[in-house]
A and B are shown apart, each in its own frame.
Chain A
Amino acid sequence: MPFGRPLLPAMRQDRGGAVLLAGLVALSVLVPLLNLAVPPGSPWHLSTYWLTLLGKYLCFGMLALALDLIWGYAGILSLGHAAFFSLGGYAMGMYLMRQIGTRGVYGDPVLPDFMVFLNWHSLPWFWTGFNHFWFALPMMALAPGGLAFVFGWFAFRSRVTGVYLSIITQALSYALMLAFFRNDMGFGGNNGFTDFKDILGWDLHADRTRVALFVVTAVALAVSYLVCRAVVDSRAGRVLRAIRDAESRVRFLGYRVESYKLWVFVGSSVIAGLAGALYVPQVGIINPSEFAPINSIEAVIWVAVGGRGTLIGAVAGAVLVNYAKTYFTGALPEVWLYALGALFIGVTLFLPRGFMGLVPGTARLIPADGPRGAGRPIRSELGVSAEGKAK
């Protein structure tokens, strides 16, 4: 759906997207009803536990969408997207910490508990403004977007591609994790932020607030989907796919490949950051382990499982894998990591297009053939692409 085309006719052509949007609308109606209107004793009641889980899945769906935009369409495999997710989450966390006020353990009206504990006497300069939502909100996009801009500007200008880029995104996330673990960084060290009280004056522990957060997340996911769809359906989207397949040829046509990669990378990191910002008030905690490499890798698995280069496949993969994770870690906790590994290997070997490859009519979106096609996501990205070898 290129920008400026009416929404409805465009959705008619994008059946997968229509299904996703319809599903999100249904969830936004049903979830509040089943949680708030149906009494807790009824078999139709949706517990707050499940409400929170569903909200989490949708946040992960946004993260997967962001990753698919750059990996599925531009061939940029980021193994550090959890960093952008976490930065958005920390920006939200800083706002929520400032809302605690005198209700903290130490009752300091300005300083969060961990600062009092560390014997700090004033807020560090970078906490300025985070007591205002109007300031914190743009920061949830600007912090991850700014980092992505600086990182991408250097990486893409130096023409770092393929496996090398993946490794340095991983290193970036790991470095941030180590930094955020340090107490003197001013972000709560290994405990991070927790014990939030309210958001915009609404009690975070009230079901109504949680339902509202869920609906906001569903809307954010829908809007993110429409933005990503508009980008990949525009001419810029076709240039990105061309970059994925034959980067130097695109450059030869006169396109500034670096700038295309940079802007789509920044856009993707902003979506990831907003997903993190919505995630934190729902799960009630953010700490440095969110930066852990395994989180970024899991997000890549969601996209691969769902079907790379399809957008909706990424969202479906995120929800599916995380539901499986919830189930396994509850029923058979010791099996989960093996199951995840087996799923990933199985999908790579037998379903190169992910589960979306099983849906008829999507072949045009996700071709499986071609030496550097999207169909062999892992093998072609992890170091053996012809483009990578030449460099």
Chain B
Amino acid sequence: MSGPPPELLGGKALTLTNLTVSFDGFKALDGLTLTVEPGELRCIIGPNGAGKTTMMDVITGRTRPMSGTARFGPAIDLLTLSEPEIVDVGIGRKFQKPTVFEQLTVFENLELSLWGDKSFWRSLTTRLRSSQRDYVDDILAVIGLASQRETLAGTLAHGQKQWLEIGMLLMQEPELLLVDEPVAGMTPQETDRTAELLTSLKAEHTLIVVEHDMDFVRSIARRVTVLHEGRVLAEGDMSQVQNDPRVIDVYLGA
């Protein structure tokens, strides 16, 4: 179901060039240029207002930039696609606040997220095929909620809701996953488990993770990009970034 890993397909790189977004004169993005290679797990850090969320909004089609380009692979120009079309080309986003369907079971949450025809008349008559059921169970195992299969999502712990939400994203079989503050509000154990989960995904997916928790970033990231005032301030592995005086100045030192 999930197909071969993207690298075998010559997976797509995300390339942002000179993106500028301005809200009433305030430049949320100011000539942002960034490339994320296929199969990479990239962490984005930066102080509040650095443009992290705006960057995600541009990639997912929520916000249109004044100038610049955003490409997914060589052929796909994200700026010409609508939000659902961007989901269709394989870019999924997990929002900061988990929104799972609280009155449905964990299994049903994943079922509704399944790739496929979503029209009313189709879903009135459709039944899960056994291959789809297996796929849901695979994802349940990946996100560690196999034993909560029939639990109402509303009764899950905070961390479990976040994993379920990641599972719902995976059901759409995205190539690129945008994950916004996955460990905010998590216990240390949940944070560790989330680190394992995201690390296990990077083989088959490209991930971009925005996070404030430095220990968490250190535990998962090979490459870190620091944003500041809508631009890339520094890029490199965690120790390089941490020792960069400019970064210490605006962010880590604070």
Q: Which residues of A contact B (CB under 8 A)?
A: 2-4, 231, 234-236, 238-239, 241-242, 244-246, 249-250, 252-256, 259-260, 263-264, 364, 367, 369-370, 373-374
A-B contact pairs, 27 of them (CB 8 A): A2-B127, A4-B127, A234-B124, A234-B125, A235-B123, A236-B120, A236-B123, A236-B124, A238-B111, A241-B101, A241-B103, A241-B104, A244-B103, A246-B102, A250-B101, A253-B112, A253-B168, A253-B172, A254-B84, A255-B118, A256-B118, A256-B119, A256-B120, A263-B120, A264-B120, A364-B152, A373-B154
Across the two chains, which residue of chain B brings its CB closest to A254? Answer: B118
Residues of B within 8 Å of A241, CB to CB, are: 101, 103-104
Contacting residue for A259 out of B102, B108, B112, B119, CB 8 A: B119
- If A231-B124, A238-B112, A367-B154 are given as contacts, then 14 extra A-B residue pairs at C-beta distance below 8 Å, sorted by A number, are A2-B125, A3-B125, A4-B125, A4-B127, A238-B104, A238-B111, A239-B112, A241-B101, A245-B102, A250-B101, A255-B112, A256-B118, A263-B121, A370-B102
Residues of A within 8 Å of B127, CB to CB, are: 2, 4
Residues of B within 8 Å of A264, CB to CB, are: 120
- Chain A nearest Cβ from B213, distance in angstroms: 25
- Chain A nearest Cβ from B113, distance in angstroms: 6
Residues of A within 8 Å of B123, CB to CB, are: 234-236, 239
- Bound-state CA distance A2–B126 (Å) is 9
Chain B 147-164 interface mask (CB, 8 Å, partner A; 1/0):
000001010000000000
Residues of A within 8 Å of B101, CB to CB, are: 241-242, 245-246, 249-250
Contacting residue for A242 out of B84, B112, B119, B121, CB 8 A: B112
- Bound-state CA distance A252–B119 (Å) is 14
Residues of A within 8 Å of B113, CB to CB, are: 253
- By the criterion CB–CB under 8 Å, are A373 and B120 in contact? no
- By the criterion CB–CB under 8 Å, are B119 and A3 in contact? no
- By the criterion CB–CB under 8 Å, are B120 and A260 in contact? yes
Size category of the B interface is 20 to 34
Across the two chains, which residue of chain A brings its CB closest to B128? Answer: A235
Chain B 77-121 interface mask (CB, 8 Å, partner A; 1/0):
000000110011000000000011111100010011100001111
- Bound-state CA distance A255–B120 (Å) is 8
- Bound-state CA distance A244–B121 (Å) is 19
Residues of A within 8 Å of B119, CB to CB, are: 256, 259
- Bound-state CA distance A238–B121 (Å) is 13
- Chain A nearest Cβ from B170, distance in angstroms: 13
- By the criterion CB–CB under 8 Å, are B99 and A259 in contact? no
Residues of B within 8 Å of A367, CB to CB, are: 102-103, 152, 154
- By the criterion CB–CB under 8 Å, are B108 and A238 in contact? yes
Residues of B within 8 Å of A255, CB to CB, are: 112, 118
- By the criterion CB–CB under 8 Å, are A235 and B102 in contact? no
- Bound-state CA distance A238–B108 (Å) is 8
- By the criterion CB–CB under 8 Å, are B104 and A242 in contact? yes
- By the criterion CB–CB under 8 Å, are A370 and B103 in contact? yes
Across the two chains, which residue of chain A brings its CB closest to B60? Answer: A252
Residues of B within 8 Å of A244, CB to CB, are: 103
- Chain A nearest Cβ from B53, distance in angstroms: 16
Residues of A within 8 Å of B125, CB to CB, are: 2-4, 234
- Bound-state CA distance A13–B169 (Å) is 32
- Chain B nearest Cβ from A186, distance in angstroms: 36
Residues of B within 8 Å of A235, CB to CB, are: 111-112, 123-124, 126
Residue among B104, B124, B168 with the highest chain A CB neighbour number at 10 A: B124
User: Which 7 pairs of residues, A with B, have the shortest CB-CB distance?
Assistant: A235-B123, A236-B123, A242-B101, A236-B124, A249-B99, A255-B118, A370-B102
Across the two chains, which residue of chain B brings its CB closest to A246? Answer: B99
Residues of B within 8 Å of A249, CB to CB, are: 99, 101
- Bound-state CA distance A175–B8 (Å) is 63
- Chain A nearest Cβ from B171, distance in angstroms: 9
- Chain A nearest Cβ from B198, distance in angstroms: 21
Across the two chains, which residue of chain B brings its CB closest to A5? Answer: B127
- Chain B nearest Cβ from A90, distance in angstroms: 29
Residues of B within 8 Å of A252, CB to CB, are: 83, 87
- Bound-state CA distance A241–B112 (Å) is 11
Contacting residue for A373 out of B100, B102, B124, B168, CB 8 A: B102
- Chain A nearest Cβ from B207, distance in angstroms: 19
Across the two chains, which residue of chain A brings its CB closest to B169? Answer: A253
Residues of B within 8 Å of A364, CB to CB, are: 152
Across the two chains, which residue of chain A brings its CB closest to B154? Answer: A370
- Bound-state CA distance A241–B104 (Å) is 8
Residues of B within 8 Å of A236, CB to CB, are: 120, 123-124
Across the two chains, which residue of chain B brings its CB closest to A262? Answer: B120
Across the two chains, which residue of chain A brings its CB closest to B109? Answer: A242
Residue among B84, B101, B103, B118 with the highest chain A CB neighbour number at 10 A: B103
- Bound-state CA distance A128–B118 (Å) is 41
Chain B 118-142 interface mask (CB, 8 Å, partner A; 1/0):
1111011111000000000000000
- Chain A nearest Cβ from B98, distance in angstroms: 10
Across the two chains, which residue of chain B brings its CB closest to A372? Answer: B102
Residues of A within 8 Å of B124, CB to CB, are: 3, 231, 234-236
- Bound-state CA distance A81–B124 (Å) is 24
- By the criterion CB–CB under 8 Å, are B99 and A254 in contact? no
- By the criterion CB–CB under 8 Å, are A373 and B112 in contact? no
- Bound-state CA distance A255–B172 (Å) is 13
- Bound-state CA distance A252–B100 (Å) is 12
- Chain A nearest Cβ from B138, distance in angstroms: 19
- Bound-state CA distance A253–B109 (Å) is 11
- Bound-state CA distance A3–B121 (Å) is 12
Across the two chains, which residue of chain A brings its CB closest to B101? Answer: A242
Across the two chains, which residue of chain B brings its CB closest to A259? Answer: B120
